[in-house]
Structure 1
Amino acid sequence: MAAPSTDPRTHRRDGGHGAGAEDIGDLPGSPFRADRDRIAASPFFARLGGVTQVVSAAGSGLLHNRLTHSLKVAQVARAIAERINRDPEPAALADKLGGCDPDVTEAAALGHDLGHPPFGHLGERVLDRIARHRYGLADGFEGNAQTFRILTTTDVRGPSAVGLDLTAAVRAAVLKYPWARLHLPAPHPSGMRVPPRGAAEPADAPGTGSGKFSAYSTEIDDFAEARGVFAGRIEPWQQTVEASVMDTADDIAYAIHDLQDFHRIGVLQHASVAAELGHWFRHAIELSDMDDELLARHRRAPGHSLERLRRRLHAKDSWIVDDEAFMHAVARVRAELVDDLLAAAFDGSTEAEQSTAAFSARWTRRLVDGVLVLPDPGVRSGHVGLRPAQWHEVQVLKFVHRRFVLLRPDLALHQRGQANVVNGLVDALDGWLGDSEEASRLPRRLHDLVELAHTEYAALAGQAPELLVGATGEEVSGADAVRGLARGRAVIDFVASLTDRQAVSLLDALSGRAAQPWSDSFVL
């Protein structure tokens, strides 16, 4: 066996460097390839096959779930990393900034969605409200932070049964938003004149901290250790190059594959998308002269929503947005999505399958070819980004998805029911935890999560109580307060580890609606 590396990027939290094959049976290979394998073998990764990407697949082979999405992000991320390393100039710049290993980017891409709860982003929003308002957890719930918690804490297959014991490089690469919600790093990026993407507070929730973040207070030590390897190479609030590759790959996969899905099932219709893009293209000057209030009032009229997007990009991303590039992007999407892919309804024929595959391959290649390594990016960009033409095209593709899929009233109806499932599950599990006569029959995994969280919050209350203070400014003190936080985090961890189907089935069982004892495994 080769001598273990002393590269700080390969350092593992449980001690030592290298693949760690002698500890948990990794296959021979690089430490980063071992990390990729550990993530791919995790039951948290397997459960993504039952977690919503946009709408529940419900057994359909036509819709992406979080697992198939993650596999495609990994495919794109590795292609980007290999492309960077083939060219001496960007490869040298990436090395200077901390490195760009294809195995690291692939591992991060495979793991980036592990923290998504049942029902995707809808479940994420519901659990965040519950965590903050019901349990007083200052950092609430966030899918990216939950991912980091799984990899470093709640997955138990590492040597110490605390996390997966990944290398520093891979842990840093999953930090898409490298800050905590409220406290770290100091100064917090939410206070910057122009905050990094995701760091600003939500407009409808002032005082709650960053809208997006990648670490809870309970994982701050792991966060600091992983990021410390890159100190002096990148800004404290900046993604590592490998995290930036993963983030860019995620954007590319999201922009292309979700549109492909909803064309296949007949949701994305030619007429409505053609009207929106065509009207804006023909009347861009008149729409640009319309005042914001009138534009908002008529946002359902063709072209108006796209003009609102153009204005939002100017407000948020003035560092790159360009009206001519935006118009070219609309023209390209109109030609290749509307007039080509959507022109004929998907009917399952060989011709339709080939057309869909060609659209995906063509756009993936175009966007990957547009990747750049930037020595001094703007605050709202990573060190890896897209050329202006491709950046604008991604914004238009994502707009089509949001406008014609995510904002559909029938999807909202479906999601309201899913929100009720998540709320009902938390109520039922919390009630079980509070029932002293039934406490001995708790699901063993929930019992273990309570004990883990109690150990964590007791330590924070004693050593860094300021990390437990939220928007109210109320200090957390006393055994009861610590137990309350631990109980909340354990319930949230448990619910977040379920698939969509498991969440529904477990609530049916806990509500007495199941016809027989529930046997589907929900132990993670």
Structure 2
Amino acid sequence: MHNEQRIARRSGGTGRTADLATNPFRVDRDRVASSPFFARLGGVTQVVSSTGSGLLVHNRLTHSLKVAQAARAIAERLTNRPELTAVLEKLGGCDPDVVEAAALAHDLGHPPFGHLGEQVLDRLARHRFGLPDGFEGNAQSFRIITATDVRGPKALGLDLTVAVRAAMLKYPWTRHQDLGLATAPRGAAEPADLPGTGSAKFSAYVTEFNDLRQAREPFEGRIEPWQQTVEASVMDTADDIAYAIHDLEDFHRVGVLQHATVAAELGTWQAQALDLAGLSDAELDAEIRMPGRSLETLRRRMHLKDSWVMDDEAFALAVRKVSKELVDGLLAVPFDGSVEAEQAVAGFSARWTRRLVDAVGVIEEPTPRSGHVVLAVAQWHEVQVLKFVHRRFVLLRPDLALHQRGQARLLSSLVDALEQWVTDRTEADRLPRRLHDLVELAETEYASLARTEPSTLVGPAGELSVGPDVVRGLARGRAVVDFVASLTDNQAAALLEALSGRTGQLWTDAFVL
């Protein structure tokens, strides 16, 4: 691929004198790192609060930094292998600076309160505001770097290069886009509990569809239209690695991940694997609260979803490896903040990160369920088991659910209060300037789509008549969602306090963007 195509910017320009770096991809990295949307990630929960957790529990900022670290390491390893040079060039390139920039930017659109905030905003966007493509963190990140961040030369987005924009597209389609495949790529299938809502994951709203298309044009004929670029695949793999390792660190630090329960689950499955495999699905479901049953359910789900790589022997070895390293190693001694405890956490993280980063390879013709950049079979299974431990013993805890229900109510109330404000004609001149500008931006975008592609604004089953009132309503909804998604956890809570009349503090004291 010609480098001129990869360095092309959204505006058609080549940069500006305010940029310090001369390498265009380093310019992109610097623009992301200096964005206020990036800085706010320090106040956005990864999964658990940092209170009383010792030196560090990850937030979205530290997570993004570690994803960028792993992504760059993977890219450097791949580009330093002479046998891969021709393959990487054929597929469109793999530049360490590109993957680092994309990794830093991949969570810019993550809303307050982690994935819980994403689910709440999606539900509100679709049901309250009638936005067919709702809310999705990856799509919101792409919207920020192409539209709502105003620090680029044109005051619309960061004006990044084609390569970096394409590398951010983990799911290079819109929510209701028909990919025409018998086997849906990872993330493209509809959620089983939300029929008719489109892809579970997607990386662009309809308002950014032209930006998605422009970013993908240089890769036409090199990779499938629904496939990640190599650089996006590197970033995605690095995200998986960081997620699998660092969240477990956090849960160990705050005392959530208990040795006994994890040991019982993994140990029971290893001791009774043959007996568990003989249970019917109904019997397994009836016994799901007993140790070993959840892990057996994972094994069966992996056969259904990822038969292209799933291997029972590799799965058993992965369970044994995780049991030795996590149960008999890290979790065997409770975290108490001592030097020894910190060393144990650091050692666990370093060993696993190196093991996984070193196991990354490239395949020329992946299945729809995989990217071009993949973990070796053994390490792929290990990541699935590590992520299972996180999901089973943290995300499904009732006390976390209690906390999250409160956060969901907070976000719903905040959206309700802002909607009332933005629709109050007597207060039109006193809206926060940021919110006012977001309404204007969305109204321009939706008015254009109403003229050219009205079906994108009403969804697959909607009427095609999209008048000014509909456009205005959609714009207000998207603006409120954009606004709330740009808050930190504390800003969201403080803003609701002020809008509810429960504090005498000026709300601007707690609000930046």
TM-score, structure 1 length as denominator? 0.96
Residue 518 of structure 1 aligns with which residue?
Answer: 507
| Aligned-CA RMSD value | 1.2
Match of 1:16 among 13, 34, 58: 13
1:257-309 CA distances to partner (integer Å, 9 max, x unpaired)? 00011111111111000000000000000000001111112111100000000
Alpha-carbon distance between aligned partners in 2 of 1:271 and 1:217, rounded to the nearest angstrom: 48
Alpha-carbon distance between aligned partners in 2 of 1:496 and 1:56, rounded to the nearest angstrom: 18
Match of 1:114 among 108, 116, 130: 108
Alpha-carbon distance between aligned partners in 1 of 2:286 and 2:232, rounded to the nearest angstrom: 39
Moved more, 417-426 or 202-211: 202-211
Q: CA deviation at 1:59?
A: 8.2
Alpha-carbon distance between aligned partners in 2 of 1:83 and 1:476, rounded to the nearest angstrom: 53
Match of 2:43 among 43, 50, 54: 50
Residue 160 of structure 1 aligns with which residue?
Answer: 154
One-letter code of the match for 2:121? Answer: L
Alpha-carbon distance between aligned partners in 2 of 1:417 and 1:475, rounded to the nearest angstrom: 38
Residue 202 of structure 2 aligns with which residue?
Answer: 213
Q: Are the equivalent residues in 2 in contact too, given 1:55–1:119 (CA < 8 A)?
A: no
1:165-189 CA distances to partner (integer Å, 9 max, x unpaired)? 0000000000010000013xxxx23
Q: CA deviation at 1:476?
A: 4.4
Q: Secondary structure at the match of 2:361?
A: strand
Q: CA deviation at 1:474?
A: 2.4
Residue 401 of structure 1 aligns with which residue?
Answer: 390
Residue 103 of structure 1 aligns with which residue?
Answer: 97
Match of 2:30 among 25, 30, 37: 37
1:214-235 CA distances to partner (integer Å, 9 max, x unpaired)? 0000001111100001110000
Residue 123 of structure 2 aligns with which residue?
Answer: 129
One-letter code of the match for 2:266? Answer: L
Residue 65 of structure 1 aligns with which residue?
Answer: 59
Q: Secondary structure at the match of 2:426?
A: coil
Residue 224 of structure 1 aligns with which residue?
Answer: 213
Q: Secondary structure at the match of 2:421?
A: helix
Q: Secondary structure at the match of 1:159?
A: coil
Alpha-carbon distance between aligned partners in 2 of 1:84 and 1:100, rounded to the nearest angstrom: 8
Alpha-carbon distance between aligned partners in 1 of 2:363 and 2:189, rounded to the nearest angstrom: 23
Alpha-carbon distance between aligned partners in 2 of 1:452 and 1:290, rounded to the nearest angstrom: 56
One-letter code of the match for 1:21? Answer: R
1:18-68 CA distances to partner (integer Å, 9 max, x unpaired)? xx132xx11132100100000000000000000111123358543100000
Q: Are the equivalent residues in 2 in contact too, given 1:12–1:165 (CA < 8 A)?
A: yes
Alpha-carbon distance between aligned partners in 1 of 2:384 and 2:354, rounded to the nearest angstrom: 17
Residue 140 of structure 2 aligns with which residue?
Answer: 146
The percent of aligned pairs where both chains have the same amino acid is: 71
Moved more, 82-91 or 159-168: 82-91
| Counterpart check, 1:316 vs 2:305 | yes
Q: Are the equivalent residues in 1 in contact too, given 2:495–2:510 (CA < 8 A)?
A: no
Residue 435 of structure 1 aligns with which residue?
Answer: 424
Alpha-carbon distance between aligned partners in 1 of 2:463 and 2:403, rounded to the nearest angstrom: 37
One-letter code of the match for 2:299? Answer: R
Alpha-carbon distance between aligned partners in 2 of 1:476 and 1:503, rounded to the nearest angstrom: 35
Q: CA deviation at 1:92?
A: 2.3
One-letter code of the match for 1:55? Answer: V
Q: Secondary structure at the match of 2:374?
A: strand
One-letter code of the match for 1:468? Answer: L
Match of 1:169 among 149, 163, 177: 163
Alpha-carbon distance between aligned partners in 2 of 1:53 and 1:202, rounded to the nearest angstrom: 23
Alpha-carbon distance between aligned partners in 1 of 2:331 and 2:159, rounded to the nearest angstrom: 46
One-letter code of the match for 1:120? Answer: G
One-letter code of the match for 1:31? Answer: P
Which 4+ stretches in 1 moved above 4 angstroms? Answer: 58-61
Match of 2:4 among 7, 10, 21: 7
Go from structure 1 to structure 2 and tell me whether the alpha carbon gap of 1:353 and 1:6 turns closer, same or farther (over 3 Å shift): closer
Q: CA deviation at 1:6?
A: 6.0
Residue 69 of structure 2 aligns with which residue?
Answer: 75
Q: CA deviation at 1:194?
A: 1.1
Q: Are the equivalent residues in 1 in contact too, given 2:360–2:376 (CA < 8 A)?
A: yes
Structure 2 unaligned spans of 5+: none
Residue 346 of structure 2 aligns with which residue?
Answer: 357
One-letter code of the match for 2:262? Answer: V
| Counterpart check, 1:469 vs 2:462 | no
Alpha-carbon distance between aligned partners in 2 of 1:488 and 1:421, rounded to the nearest angstrom: 17
Q: CA deviation at 1:435?
A: 1.4
Alpha-carbon distance between aligned partners in 1 of 2:322 and 2:441, rounded to the nearest angstrom: 49
Alpha-carbon distance between aligned partners in 2 of 1:206 and 1:194, rounded to the nearest angstrom: 17
Q: CA deviation at 1:248?
A: 0.1
TM-score, structure 2 length as denominator? 0.98
Q: Are the equivalent residues in 1 in contact too, given 2:494–2:510 (CA < 8 A)?
A: no
Q: Are the equivalent residues in 2 in contact too, given 1:21–1:27 (CA < 8 A)?
A: no
What is the aligned length? 511
Alpha-carbon distance between aligned partners in 2 of 1:62 and 1:357, rounded to the nearest angstrom: 12
Alpha-carbon distance between aligned partners in 2 of 1:59 and 1:500, rounded to the nearest angstrom: 17
Alpha-carbon distance between aligned partners in 2 of 1:35 and 1:221, rounded to the nearest angstrom: 20
One-letter code of the match for 1:322? Answer: D
Q: Secondary structure at the match of 1:7?
A: helix
Q: CA deviation at 1:471?
A: 4.3
Q: CA deviation at 1:199?
A: 0.1
Alpha-carbon distance between aligned partners in 2 of 1:337 and 1:461, rounded to the nearest angstrom: 54
Match of 1:414 among 398, 403, 407: 403
Structure 1 unaligned spans of 5+: none
Alpha-carbon distance between aligned partners in 2 of 1:172 and 1:6, rounded to the nearest angstrom: 14
